[in-house]
Structure 1
Amino acid sequence: MRKPIALVILVAALPMLSACGQPVADDKAAYVGEWHAQAMDVELTKDGTVRYKRVRNTTAGATTTTSINAPLRRFEGDNFVVGIAFLSTTFEVSTPPHREAGTWKMVVDGVELTRTP
């Protein structure tokens, strides 16, 4: 009987837990903004909310979409970790935010993104 009650409490607490992101530190402020590529979008807000969407084509010709809307947990070097409690994912940043010919760019999970002005 206790397991269903614990599950109900956990499910009820998820919206509250997901609102508890870590604000972006000043030394990582360049990450804040809306970043776009042809099949990938990442938004990182100053208050620590991350929204992610990626569309991929499979070898069978189908399309899969992955979406995440979760709090920022921390930065690990240039990478950032997103999620709640025991559910998290790390976004691998191989090229951190930088200006290139007046445009902000970074590479996340192998995809070059451009920040919307």
Structure 2
Amino acid sequence: MRIVSSLILAAGLLSGAACAAPVPADKQSYVGNWQGKDMQLALAKDGKVKYKRDQPGKKLDLSLELQGFNGDHFDVGWGIVRSTFIVSKPPHREGKQWTMTVDGVELTRGE
């Protein structure tokens, strides 16, 4: 019974650590559906992240959770597994379009 209780406790701790962090008020410009060459990134206000990338020999299609921001960059993942999206140009307007550069890819937000 101790083993079962320990497993239930561990599962509860892991599920609690897996909650998405909502996008902070000062980072709301990141929210939206972004597209670029061979890359799609969708970030919801509640911190849910969908990421697709199609590179030669490597296709990714992931649903992740926002873990937090570090300056312009943001961390996603689940529990202790994390990855950082490097934002070299944060969201900004170029004419009528919103753009940002993430992991070297220029993205445009759909309206």
TM-score bracket, normalised by the shorter chain, equals 0.7 to 0.9
2:40 is the alignment partner of 1:46: no
Is 2:74 the counterpart of 1:80? yes
User: Over the residues paired in the alignment, what is the CA RMSD in angstroms?
Assistant: 2.6
Q: CA deviation at 1:18?
A: 8.0
The reply on whether 1:97 has 2:96 as its aligned counterpart is no
Task: Among all aligned residue pairs of Structure 1 and Structure 2, give the percentage whose two residues are the same amino acid.
Answer: 46
> For residues 67 and 88 of structure 1, what CA distance do their matches in structure 2 show?
16
Pairwise mapping of residues 22-61 of structure 1 onto structure 2 (< 5 A)?
Answer: 22-57=21-56
TM-score (norm 1): 0.80
Q: Say whether the 8 Å CA contact 2:86–2:102 is kept in structure 1.
A: yes
- Give the structure-2-normalised TM-score: 0.84
Distance in 1 (CA, whole Å) between partners of 2:97 and 2:58 is 29
SS at match of 2:26: helix
Q: Which runs of 5+ in 1 are unaligned?
A: 58-62
Runs in 1 of length 4+ with deviation above 6 angstroms?
none
